[in-house]
């Protein structure tokens, strides 16, 4: 395992209790003193700090869009990417089976360990310590470009998500038109292979498709997290 001094420099915090940092880096496959409880704590701190920073950074953005922006920042893919930037895999303590199977390269293990480090910092130095790590690692990603990405049409965001996963693009179908000419209602369906279709209704066909796309995107993101 690489020197923990370099990791502490990378996250911008030096631990008084090194046992906490060591535990944060220990996967459950390596022993009883593993990082899952610290991960739980770090996840809560991460979500709060990111939410507070987004709230301050984007004063005119709605609650729903702030939630989507936060989800983009705290999702497994983003955390694993950050873990890669600070070479967190070099410090992980894994059991023999995980070492053989390349566990240090798994996004889930790296993302969980990063959250555990945040949780360990909270116990070691209080909320300010955890907040400092989160802001140091996340601040470069909290930009106007993040806002632009999350405020795009849900159909565009769904397409980008699917393209990023190498999956087929969605198909939109008008399921039903109903109501009088002056108060038409449209039911649109969004279909993606191998997952349940989503449907939405609106007075505008375009908005119905957008809502169906948003439901599909939420479903796919939940499946990818599971």
Q: Is 112 annotated as a binding residue?
A: yes
Give the domain CATH number at 56: 1.10.1520.10
> Do residue 178 and residue 139 come from a single domain?
no
> Do residue 54 and residue 75 come from a single domain?
yes
Kindly report which listed range (20-24, 143-147, 185-189) carries the lowest average pLDDT score.
143-147
Q: What is the mean pLDDT of residues 160-183?
A: 88
> Do residue 90 and residue 195 come from a single domain?
no
> Do residue 143 and residue 111 come from a single domain?
yes
Examine the residue annotation and report whether 139 is marked as an active-site residue of this protein: no
> Do residue 11 and residue 49 come from a single domain?
yes
Q: Which of 43, 98, 131, 150 is catalytic?
A: 43
Per-residue pLDDT for 195 more than 60? yes
> Do residue 137 and residue 161 come from a single domain?
no
- How long, in residues, is the chain? 226
* pLDDT for residue 147: 62
Instruction: Give dist(CA 171, CA 177) in Å, integer.
Output: 18
> Do residue 172 and residue 131 come from a single domain?
no
Query: What is the span of the domain harbouring residue 212?
Result: 154-225
Q: What is the mean pLDDT of residues 167-184?
A: 88
Between 186 and 183, whose confidence is greater? Answer: 186
Per-residue pLDDT for 3 more than 90? no
> Do residue 134 and residue 179 come from a single domain?
no
Nearest to 168 by CA among 225, 216, 128, 96: 216
Q: Within 13 A of 90's CA, how many CA atoms are on the CB side?
A: 12
Domain count, the chain: 2
Q: How confident is the model at residue 156 (pLDDT cuts 50, 70, 90)?
A: confident
> Do residue 205 and residue 94 come from a single domain?
no
Q: Write down which residue in 150, 168, 201 finishes a domain.
A: 150
Q: Is the CB of residue 120 less than 8 Å from the CB of residue 20?
A: yes
Per-residue pLDDT for 182 more than 80? no
* pLDDT for residue 203: 87
Q: What is the mean pLDDT of residues 64-84?
A: 88
Q: Write down which residue in 85, 116, 150 finishes a domain.
A: 150
Q: Which of 115, 124, 131, 209 is catalytic?
A: 115
Q: What is the mean pLDDT of residues 21-43?
A: 94
**What are the residues whose beta carbons fall under 8 Å from the beta carbon of 7, sequence distance 6 or more?**
21, 86, 87, 88, 91
Per-residue pLDDT for 106 more than 80? yes
Q: Is 124 annotated as a binding residue?
A: no
Give the domain CATH number at 178: 3.30.160.20
Q: Write down which residue in 150, 177, 203 finishes a domain.
A: 150
> Do residue 201 and residue 120 come from a single domain?
no
> Do residue 37 and residue 124 come from a single domain?
yes
Percentage of residues in the chain having pLDDT higher than 90? 64
* pLDDT for residue 226: 62
Examine the residue annotation and report whether 43 is marked as an active-site residue of this protein: yes
Q: Whole-prediction pTM value?
A: 0.67
Dump pLDDT digits (tens) for 110-142. 999 999 999 999 999 999 999 999 999 999 999
Q: Is 160 annotated as a binding residue?
A: no
> Do residue 93 and residue 162 come from a single domain?
no
């Amino acid at each position: 395992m690489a020197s923990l001094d370099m990791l502490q420099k990378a996250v911008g915090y030096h631990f008084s209790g090194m046992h906490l940092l060591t535990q944060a880096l220990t996967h459950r496959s390596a022993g009883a003193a593993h990082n899952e409880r610290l991960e739980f704590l770090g996840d809560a701190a991460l979500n709060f700090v990111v939410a507070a920073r987004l709230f301050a950074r984007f004063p005119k953005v709605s609650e729903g869009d702030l939630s989507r922006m936060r989800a983009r920042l705290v999702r497994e893919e983003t955390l694993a990417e950050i873990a890669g930037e600070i070479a967190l895999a070099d410090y992980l303590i894994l059991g023999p089976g995980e070492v053989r199977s390349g566990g240090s390269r798994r996004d889930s293990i790296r993302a969980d360990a990063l959250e555990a480090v945040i949780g360990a910092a909270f116990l070691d130095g209080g909320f300010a310590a955890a907040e400092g790590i989160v802001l140091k690692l996340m601040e470069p990603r909290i930009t106007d470009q993040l806002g632009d990405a999350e405020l795009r049409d849900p159909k565009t965001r769904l397409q980008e998500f699917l393209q990023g996963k190498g999956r087929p693009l969605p198909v939109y179908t008008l399921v039903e038109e109903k109501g009088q000419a002056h108060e038409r209602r449209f039911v649109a369906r969004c279909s993606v292979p191998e997952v349940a279709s989503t449907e939405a209704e609106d007075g505008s066909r375009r908005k119905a498709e957008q809502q169906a796309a948003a439901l599909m995107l939420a479903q796919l993101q939940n499946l990818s997290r599971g």
